[in-house]
Amino acid sequence: MAANPNIYLVGPMGAGKTTIGRRIAEIKGMSFVDSDHEVEKRTGVDISFIFDMEGEAGFRKREREMIAELSDLPNTVMATGGGAVLESATRDLLSARGVVVYLETSLEQQISRTRKASNRPILEGSEDVEATLTRLMEERDPLYRSIADIVVPTGDQQARRLAREIVEQLEAIGTA
Burial 85-124 (b: 16+ CB within 10 A, else e): bbbeebbebbeebbbbbbbbbbeebbeebbeeeeebbbbe
Query: Which residue numbers belong to the known binding site for Mg(2+)?
Result: 18
User: According to the model, what pLDDT value does residue 117 have?
Assistant: 59
Q: Is the pTM of this model over 0.85?
A: yes
CATH number for the segment(s) 4-170: 3.40.50.300
Query: Which residue numbers belong to the known binding site for substrate?
Result: 36, 60, 82, 140
Burial 38-68 (b: 16+ CB within 10 A, else e): bbbeebeeebbebbeeeeeeebbebbbebbe
Strand 6-10 to 76-79 pairing: parallel
User: According to the model, what pLDDT value does residue 113 have?
Assistant: 72
Query: Which residue numbers belong to the known binding site?
Result: 14-19, 36, 60, 82, 120, 140, 157
Query: Which residue numbers belong to the known binding site for ATP?
Result: 14-19, 120, 157
Q: Where are the domains of the chain?
A: 4-170
Q: What is the dihedral of CA 158, 122, 137, 102, to 10 degrees?
A: -40
Q: What's 119's DSSP letter?
A: -
User: According to the model, what pLDDT value does residue 1 have?
Assistant: 37
Low-confidence ranges of the chain (pLDDT < 50): 1-2
